[in-house]
């Protein structure tokens, strides 16, 4: 049995190579430390290790084959987390499914990757009844919570775990668990939000996820005394990384299901909170709420992932908790995380997404594959251990995004095998000191009057009015401009600024070709995709005929 890396004197040092080893190593070092808290109840690393091992053995008893898919369609709860890591420990592949998805969307994911076992609840199972009829590969359904007479054939969570416990929670011993896998085997499939069509399944290996946990924990300085608030969806790569980063560090992760931004605020201001991580849209909502001054005493840092945080939002948050360290990060599901801005640089360049994270290299390339010069916009290309394995069962889209590095971009010419990097589709620029700045997504850039315009650049100006709670800018077909920029804004309740006043503000700060053709106020929150980001795509469809000439 592999007990780890042997050192002099016969001592053993366990190391994390597979994703469930993150829990195993912390259980080995700090077995009684709290690992996971949900609704006020906690379990230790030793308890979690035992439950993960029990799930793995229970899954193998059902006859699941190596790397077969296990779908998890639950809200944040301990069983959700145990299912993720237990499936990995069994040598299976887990598929997190956003609990906000509708039955048809869930059915698409289950069919697309041929899920064999589904972990859900009786309430969710009832909603899925019609969708599951089109999932012939599904063999087992495990219901968490109270058993239901509506589904007598379904296996209960207790039934899966019963008789599968082990005397020692040793997640390094594959003979106790399931199929043998190595770090380059797939561990998970994360489905994108599907704002431009059906969701795509991004395949992540054990190596991708372990390398990501180690890299992020390194620059955030996470340790076993931290408490990490898991507010983002666990089906979102940034949300899931709150688990992997926390478990790698031996920290405690608190699961939060929230309905309103104020629920997140209440959790963050708890004296037990040490870290809060959120997407830019969540921080925009939180910044408008009143924060108690005491929060800065215990909140060690806050982090932003996904889209770039508007400068006005960053200023507001720093005023709320001036002694809390901000970490501004950029990432994409296909490479987990790519860049972060060191906190000491935030005052000097608050609009930067920083430099490459540890164990990654970032290039800015032209369309012909040659490197861009300083401040020249180009595509962000990520190479290293965090680059995903491609899109599940989609060779065409995989070939578009995952491509060999061009000559001169990180690989010596004498190496006969090419290296695959991920081409992000995001336009960035790099300044003379090597810091990166997000310009926009290539598929969201507005092409107006012969110019390419970044919607985020216009949104920044709208937020600068301090009258805006949420803003989205997008391009709409225009008979003479090609596209016209249109802004949809949710105004702050305390603001009296009119649409005309906001347009004048934009004219003062933007060149004429960047000024929105129209600004529309909304009372309700702007629509969001399942990952919580403002959905520009649905808004652009809503306004698609805005400038069309009326028929005869």
Closest listed residue to residue 368, CA positions, set 409, 418, 402, 396: 409
d(CA 256, CA 37) in angstroms, rounded, equals: 9
d(CA 498, CA 106) in angstroms, rounded, equals: 42
Second CATH level (architecture) for the domain 17-202: 3-Layer(aba) Sandwich (3.40)
Are 171 and 21 in contact by the 8 Å Cβ rule? The answer is: yes
The DSSP bridge partners found for residue 363 are 381
- Taking residues 446-468, what's their average pLDDT? 85
Delimit the domains of the chain by residue range: 17-202, 258-441, 456-542
37-72 per-position pLDDT tens digit: 998 899 999 999 999 999 999 999 999 999 999 999
- Taking residues 322-332, what's their average pLDDT? 89
- Taking residues 479-485, what's their average pLDDT? 83
Are 403 and 423 in contact by the 8 Å Cβ rule? The answer is: yes
Label residue 11 by pLDDT band (50, 70, 90).
Answer: very low
Label residue 165 by pLDDT band (50, 70, 90).
Answer: low
Total-model pTM: 0.83
Residue 7 has pLDDT above 70, yes or no: no
Q: What is the mean pLDDT of the chain?
A: 87
Residue 495 has pLDDT above 70, yes or no: yes
Using DSSP bridges, classify how beta strands 325-330 and 339-341 pair: parallel, antiparallel or unpaired: antiparallel
pLDDT-wise least confident of 48-57, 116-125, 314-323, 474-483: 474-483
Are 336 and 358 in contact by the 8 Å Cβ rule? The answer is: no
435-452 per-position pLDDT tens digit: 999 887 777 878 787 677
Q: Give exposure, 263-293, as e/b (b: 16+ Cβ within 10 Å).
A: ebbebbbeeebbbbbbbbbbbbbbbeeebee
Using DSSP bridges, classify how beta strands 436-441 and 390-391 pair: parallel, antiparallel or unpaired: unpaired
Q: What is the DSSP letter of 299?
A: -
Q: What's residue 550's pLDDT?
A: 56
Are 532 and 232 in contact by the 8 Å Cβ rule? The answer is: yes
d(CA 137, CA 286) in angstroms, rounded, equals: 42
Q: Among positive and negative, which fits the CA dihedral 514, 519, 522, 528?
A: negative
**And the tokens for 48?**
């979690």
d(CA 23, CA 247) in angstroms, rounded, equals: 6
* Distance between start and end Cα atoms, the chain: 80
Label residue 166 by pLDDT band (50, 70, 90).
Answer: low
Question: So what CATH class is 258-441?
Answer: alpha beta
Please determine whether the domains at 17-202 and 456-542 fall in the same fold group of CATH.
no
- Per the model's pLDDT, the better-predicted residue between 415 and 126 turns out to be 126
**And the tokens for 545?**
């005929």
Q: What's residue 274's pLDDT?
A: 58
d(CA 536, CA 514) in angstroms, rounded, equals: 17
**And the tokens for 535?**
């959905």
Residues 6+ away with beta carbon under 8 Å from 378: 364, 365, 366, 371, 372, 427, 428, 429
Second CATH level (architecture) for the domain 456-542: 2-Layer Sandwich (3.30)
**And the tokens for 110?**
């289950």
503-520 per-position pLDDT tens digit: 999 998 887 888 999 999
- Taking residues 405-432, what's their average pLDDT? 86
Torsion angle of the four alpha carbons 303, 306, 310, 316, in this order, in degrees rounded to the nearest 10: -30
- Tokens 């990166």: give the residue: 436
Label residue 197 by pLDDT band (50, 70, 90).
Answer: low
Label residue 273 by pLDDT band (50, 70, 90).
Answer: low
Q: What's residue 167's pLDDT?
A: 59
Helices (H), 133-222: 157-161, 206-220
Largest CA distance in the chain: 91
Q: What's residue 335's pLDDT?
A: 93
pLDDT-wise least confident of 67-76, 235-244, 407-416: 407-416
What value does the CA radius of gyration of the chain take, rounded to a whole number of Å?
24
């Amino acid at each position: 049995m592999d007990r780890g890396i042997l050192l002099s004197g016969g001592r053993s040092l366990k190391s994390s190579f597979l994703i469930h080893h993150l829990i195993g190593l912390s259980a080995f070092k700090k077995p009684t430390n709290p690992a996971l808290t949900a609704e006020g109840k906690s379990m230790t690393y030793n308890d979690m290790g035992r439950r993960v091992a029990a799930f793995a053995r229970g899954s193998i008893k059902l006859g699941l084959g190596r790397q077969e898919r296990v779908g998890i369609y639950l809200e944040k709860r301990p069983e959700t987390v145990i299912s993720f890591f237990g499936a990995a420990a069994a040598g299976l592949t887990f598929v997190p499914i956003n609990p906000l998805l509708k039955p048809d969307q869930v059915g698409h994911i289950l069919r697309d990757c041929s899920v064999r076992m589904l972990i859900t609840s009786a309430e969710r199972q009832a909603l899925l009844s019609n969708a599951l009829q089109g999932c012939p590969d599904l063999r087992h359904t495990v219901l968490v919570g109270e058993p239901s007479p509506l589904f007598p054939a379904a296996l209960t969570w207790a039934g899966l775990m019963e008789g599968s416990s082990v005397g020692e929670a040793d997640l390094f011993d594959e003979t106790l668990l399931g199929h043998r896998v190595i770090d380059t085997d797939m561990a998970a499939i994360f489905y994108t939000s599907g704002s431009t069509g059906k969701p795509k399944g991004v395949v992540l290996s054990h190596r991708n996820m372990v390398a990501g946990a180690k890299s992020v924990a390194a620059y955030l300085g996470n340790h076993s005394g931290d408490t990490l608030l898991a507010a983002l969806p666990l089906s979102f790569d940034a949300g899931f990384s709150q688990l992997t980063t926390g478990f790698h560090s031996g920290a405690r992760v608190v699961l939060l299901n929230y309905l309103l931004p104020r629920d997140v605020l209440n959790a963050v201001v708890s004296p037990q909170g040490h870290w809060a991580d959120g997407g830019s849209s969540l921080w925009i909502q939180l910044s408008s709420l009143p924060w108690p001054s005491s929060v800065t005493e215990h909140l060690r840092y806050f982090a932003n992932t996904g889209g770039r945080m508007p400068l006005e939002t960053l200023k507001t948050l720093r005023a709320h908790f001036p002694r809390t360290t901000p970490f501004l990060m950029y990432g994409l599901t296909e490479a987990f995380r790519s860049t972060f801005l060191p906190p000491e640089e935030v005052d000097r360049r608050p609009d930067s997404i920083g430099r490459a994270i540890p164990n990654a290299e970032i290039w800015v390339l032209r369309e012909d594959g040659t490197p861009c010069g300083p401040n020249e916009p180009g595509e962000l290309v990520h190479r290293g251990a965090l680059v995903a394995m491609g899109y599940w069962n989609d060779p065409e889209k995989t070939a578009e995004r995952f491509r060999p590095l061009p000559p001169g971009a990180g690989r010596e010419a004498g190496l006969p095998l090419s290296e695959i990097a991920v081409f992000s589709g995001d336009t960035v620029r790099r300044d003379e000191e090597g810091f990166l700045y997000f310009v926009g997504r290539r598929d969201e850039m507005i092409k107006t009057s012969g110019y390419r315009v970044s919607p985020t650049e216009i949104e920044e100006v709208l937020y600068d009015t301090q009258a805006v709670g949420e803003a989205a800018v997008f391009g709409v077909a225009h008979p003479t401009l090609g596209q016209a920029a249109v802004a949809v804004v949710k105004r702050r309740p305390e603001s009296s600024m009119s649409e005309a006043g906001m347009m004048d503000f934009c004219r003062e700060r933007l060149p004429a070709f960047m000024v929105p053709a129209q600004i529309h106020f909304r009372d309700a929150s702007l629509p969001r995709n399942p990952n919580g980001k403002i959905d520009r795509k649905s808004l652009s469809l809503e306004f698609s005929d805005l400038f069309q000439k009326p028929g005869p």
